[in-house]
Structure 1
Amino acid sequence: MTDFAVHTIEDAPEKSKSMLESSKKAYGTVPNLHAVMAESPALLEAYKTVSNIFDKQTNLTATEQQIIAMTNNRLNGCTYCMAAHTSIMQGAKVAEDVITALRDGTPIADPKLEALRVFAEKVNVKRGLLDVGDIEAFLAAGYTKQTVFDVIVGTAYKVLSNYTNHVAETPLDKMFAKNEWSAEPHPA
């Protein structure tokens, strides 16, 4: 495997330094994902921009955003993002049964949230080639046409991080280690 640097603010490419400084200010440290992405200022800026758009420009709740993110993380087999987003959900006080369902790929008890999980899964698995019935079922669950597109934004956001972590084998930060995840089935 090719070794990719986990950059510090000091050794990062010049165009990435200020973005890493803003990460450190926001998180108290530079997450390894950002430190790896710093190799490409374009990637780091794209990721931070799309993440900010997903957070601020959608009408989704924090729980709904995490359902989209975690569904993509699981389907893409991203161990780093599964651990990181589990920690994020815990900090946001997302219900434990929702977190467990997302980590295990099992149905969420709340029917509307489950419709979102299923739709996000279909967008990922079908690569956006949805059937009319997929969209109609999602709309019938109480979501809007805007949300259809917001799920695509969330999927794009996760492609940036999930694929980066696969290519670079990003080491898991200590702050996420307690939520380590494996794509292997969990014992019953």
Structure 2
Amino acid sequence: MNLEAQLAGLADLGLPLAAGRTVDELLYSWPRESYEDKPFDVLLYVLGCEVEAEPWGRRFCDRAWHFDTECVRGAGSYVAIVGQLCRTAGRQDALTDVRDHVDLGAEEAWIEYRAGGRERRWDIEVRDDWADLMTVGYVMDDLEGDGHRFYARRNGQAMTLYFLTEAEADRLNGLVGERLVTPFLG
């Protein structure tokens, strides 16, 4: 299946390329054959990434994020994770007053934010530079709603997260021909 047909199929499922993104940008890092030899495999991964060319910070898909769970470096790490989850959910302002404390040496960490007028604080289990997926799951719970939730496609220490309805996730799995996307379960 050619790349353009794959993109059209994913767009119909709620995973379109972000505004301004192009096929040429997709082909910058991966040759066309990589996308077309095993349809959807590479594309579902790349949709969660940033364009690998200047200007930096441009995402391929607004409803996907490639989350490398070995990403905790210190203060601000969980604020960045929350920012990506809000972006992926299309709810940039849903969580406010986000702040964290991360001291890897002392094995102390927490995150605080406001969600729907409620103050939230989660103590974080520190395991070197690995994100605490239980805490990430709590944040996701505060973002999910209106029939949408986070689904994950795991890839070793990383995963690509998608914000979909159950029907969209089921259609995606049917399109790919196997169960690739499952609900995120921390």
Q: Shared fold by TM > 0.5? A: no
TM-score (norm 2): 0.28
Relative contact order (alpha carbons < 8 A, sep ≥ 6): 1 or 2 greater?
1
Give 1 or 2: higher strand fraction: 2
